[in-house]
Structure 1
Amino acid sequence: MAKKSLIQREKKRQKLEQKYHLIRQSLKKKIRSKIYPLSLSEKTKMREKLQSLPRNSAPTRLHRRCFLTGRPRANYRDFGLSGHVLREMVYECLLPGATRSSW
């Protein structure tokens, strides 16, 4: 089980990312615009605005965590679970359609 403080920190990052998503997206779109090209000074102003946003609002700072344990590594996107939890659930026949391998 992951520390509760780390899980809460991740939830806070998700809220910040959602809050600033449209602002970040519009600034990036203006910087890359080829229809209305900006001068170099205007682009630097846009980049400064982009950098002035909180760091934790960037989508690259988000981690996918296990739904049950909060573990940040070895997560399967389809299930939202970490590898060892997924394996235990397959062994207990809690996931329909998933088969365990044996050799």
Structure 2
Amino acid sequence: MARESVKARDRKRRNLVAKYAAKRASLKKQGDYMALDKLPKNASPVRLRNRCSMTGRARGYIRKFGVSRLVFRKWALEGKLPGIRKASW
């Protein structure tokens, strides 16, 4: 499980990206890279990292469900994900 400070930093970055998205798009369209450089570095979507919504784990992230592989497995075994079941052959 990720530390709370890491999760908080990720939330802060996501808020900044959302706040500056329109401004960044317009500056890029105009080609004004000097003004684009003056925006906060954390406003760039490249700096985001996919993290599990439950634990904050960065690795083993399943994009379709928004959680890590560990949480996904737990939910699947508990039957909390409709249509998902353990394979057997």
Q: Deviations over 1:68-92 (max 9, x none)?
A: 1111111112111101110111111
Which residue does 2:68 correspond to in 1?
Answer: 82
Q: Deviations over 1:38-79 (max 9, x none)?
A: xxxxxxxx2111111111000011111111111111111211
| CA-atom RMSD in angstroms | 1.1
Which structure 2 segments of 5+ residues have no match?
Answer: none
List structure 1 segments (4+ residues) > 2 angstroms apart after TM superposition.
none
SS at match of 1:53: coil
Partner of 1:54: 40
Unaligned regions of 5+ residues in structure 1, if any? 32-45
Q: Percent identity?
A: 44
- Per the TM alignment, residue 102 of structure 1 is displaced from its structure 2 partner at its CA by 3.1
Aligned length: 89
1:78 maps to a residue whose letter is: K
Pairs within 5 Å for 1:1-103: 1-31=1-31, 46-103=32-89
**TM-score between the two structures when normalised by the length of structure 1:** 0.80
Question: By how many angstroms is 1:4 displaced?
Answer: 0.1
Q: Mark the structure with the bigger radius of gyration.
A: 1
Q: What code does the residue aligned with 1:27 have?
A: L
- Amino acid corresponding to residue 71 of structure 1 in structure 2: R
